[in-house]
Structure 1
Amino acid sequence: MISRIKLITYLIELNEAILFYPKLKRFYKKALPQNPTIFDVGANKGQSADFFLAIRPTAQITSFEPNPSLFQFLTTKYQGVKNMTLVNKGVSNAKQILTFYINKLDLTSSFEPLNPDSKYLAKKAQVMGVKPSEIISESIEIETISLREFIEDKHIKHIDLLKIDTEGHELKCLTGLFPLKTCQIDRIQIENHQDDMYKTLDSFESIQTLLQENGYQVEVTIKHGFGEFYEMIFQKSH
């Protein structure tokens, strides 16, 4: 099963490298300033950080990753990279302790419990060669923080890009960000996939409404190479 999951991960990464990242690169090469400040919420293995460092080597990146083993991987990977800051905390609507569900395919680990009645989950489990009940390999208790408190504690005044990919937990991350009075965030990138894999009742429409209420409008939508997955980039209205 491990080799099967490795193969699936490889095929996903290959698909993204061919069909998704070139489009995202064209956008950000024009949109990002030369020395951007970037927050990467849901760092995983550093895919997004690597992407941004490739087009903006002097970017100041703060990456949040709650999974202890992935955080250790990131610590080793970026050892000596002075413009990378790693934070081993989850991001949510407040400082609290939440259960984090680590999936066998770690790209989809989340603070949101899986929906056992999901047809999408059943299909995904079939591809992975496991039962839906076997997708979660471990659940652990993780301390979360809110972005607003983190930004205020660090006295951060400006962020060029905030990228959030937390597998169904995005609205709670944004609820813990707004209202934000001490910092200007130019762009917010959110993954949008409308499936029922997680039990959360948060809809992308509620995410978009919250962003609009805080002065953000959709600037561009970029489709991933597989499924009905999109990256939506919102820009702060001036």
Structure 2
Amino acid sequence: MASLKRWIDLKRNPWKAPLHKGMKAWKADKASDSHLLQYDDLPEQPVVLDIGGYEGGWSDLVLAVRPAAIIHIFEPHPGFAKELRRKFSANANITVHECAIGAQPGQITLSDSADASSAFGAKSGQTYVAEVRSVADFFAASGLQSVDLAKINIEGGEYDLLPGLIDAGLIGRIKRLQVQFHLFDPSWSADRDAIRKQLDATHSCAWCYTFVWEEWRLK
């Protein structure tokens, strides 16, 4: 059934071909096991940004191999943020920021769709308004000079956040970046290409499954 849905989606939206190709390769390579979930090469107490925290599952993976990790989790959904604070209440090294993070401060209306909550395609009656914190303000307030690992999975918000990091001259502080680029609009392929070209000035792409997950490491 899932494969049929993907086939129908591709027939209706041929511009999604890179996403479907990337997902097919991701599954064939069992990439979750070989790439995304391995963090035992991090320092003993890495500084980590979990941008798009949801239920904290990704942070759990980091903590499983680096229990002393200092983690900043960004989660704008009030319900999920509350649960994250409860879940990690005994760990003083984890800070939950109940906000989105982007190029500029402000507010954003997000669809209330669990781990797929997004500013794109939000429907009336199924939304919430979240604070957006400037990434430059966060780095200035936190005093972070170096980040060992950052994960970005924010349902389209990466097209605002990453240029914000680059324009503010902060991208060079991130040693290892894992990002999920999303494809909700045909124009986003060109947007992704433009961001990747900028990233290439400071980082090298370690591996890539187009519009699924990719990793960049500081040169």
Provide TM-score, normalisation by structure 2. 0.76
Superposition deviation, residue 74 in structure 1: 0.7
Q: Secondary structure at the match of 1:156?
A: coil
2:203 equivalent to 1:192? no
Q: Does 1:23 align with 2:38?
A: no
CA pair 196-154 structure 1, distance change in 2 beyond 3 A: closer
Determine which of 106, 111, 115 is the counterpart of 2:119: 111
Distance 1:167 1:211, change over 3 A: same
SS at match of 1:45: coil
Q: Does the 8 A contact of 1:100 with 1:142 survive in 2?
A: yes
1:29 CA displacement: 1.9
Partner residue of 1:61? 71
CA RMSD of aligned residues (A): 2.9
**Corresponding letter in the other structure for 2:117:** S
**Which whole-Å CA distance do the structure 1 matches of 2:126 and 2:31 have between them?**
30
In the alignment, residue 185 of structure 1 is paired with which amino acid?
I
SS state at 1:203 partner: helix
Match for residue 232 of structure 1? 214
User: Where does residue 216 of structure 1 map in the other structure?
Assistant: 203
Looking at structure 2, the residues matched to 69 and 210 of structure 1 have their Cα atoms a distance apart, in angstroms, of 35
Amino acid in the other structure paired with 2:72: T
Cα distance between partner residues in 1 of 2:131 and 2:190: 21
Structure 2 gaps, min length 5: 1-26
Contact 1:92 1:172 in 2 (8 A): yes
- Distance in 2, matches of 1:205 and 1:143, equals 28
Alignment pair present for 1:84 and 2:66:
no
Asked whether the equivalents of residues 89 and 144 of structure 1 are also in contact (C-alpha less than 8 Å), the reply is yes
Gaps of 5+ in 1: 1-15, 115-132
2:149 aligns to what? Answer: 161
Q: Offset at 1:22?
A: 2.3
How many aligned positions are there? 192
- Kindly provide the amino acid, as one letter, of the partner of residue 141 in structure 1: V
Q: How much has 1:113 moved relative to structure 2?
A: 2.7
Aligned to 1:120: none
The separation in 1 between residues aligned to 2:152 and 2:88, in whole angstroms, is 20
Tell me how far apart the structure 1 counterparts of residues 156 and 190 of structure 2 sit (CA, whole Å).
Answer: 8
Identity of aligned residues (%): 24
Q: By percentage of residues, which structure has more strand?
A: 1
Following the alignment from structure 1 to structure 2, what is the Cα–Cα distance between the partners of residues 198 and 164? 21
Tell me the CA shift for residue 230 of structure 1.
Answer: 2.6
Q: What is the rounded CA distance, in whole Å, between the counterparts of 1:150 and 1:163 in structure 2?
A: 16
Going from structure 1 to structure 2, the CA distance change for 1:68 and 1:232 (only over 3 Å counts) comes to same
- Within 2, Cα distance between the matches of 1:79 and 1:161? 22
Q: Say whether 1:177 aligns with 2:165.
A: yes
Match of 1:203 in 2: 191
Task: Tell whether the 8 Å contact from 2:75 to 2:97 is kept in structure 1 after alignment.
Answer: yes
Q: Measure, in 2, the Cα distance between the counterparts of 1:200 and 1:83.
A: 36
8 Å Cα contact 1:71-1:88 kept in structure 2:
yes
Q: Is the partner of 1:158 in helix, strand or coil?
A: coil
Q: Which amino acid is 2:33 matched to? A: P
Contact 1:38–1:161, Cα closer than 8 Å, also in 2? yes
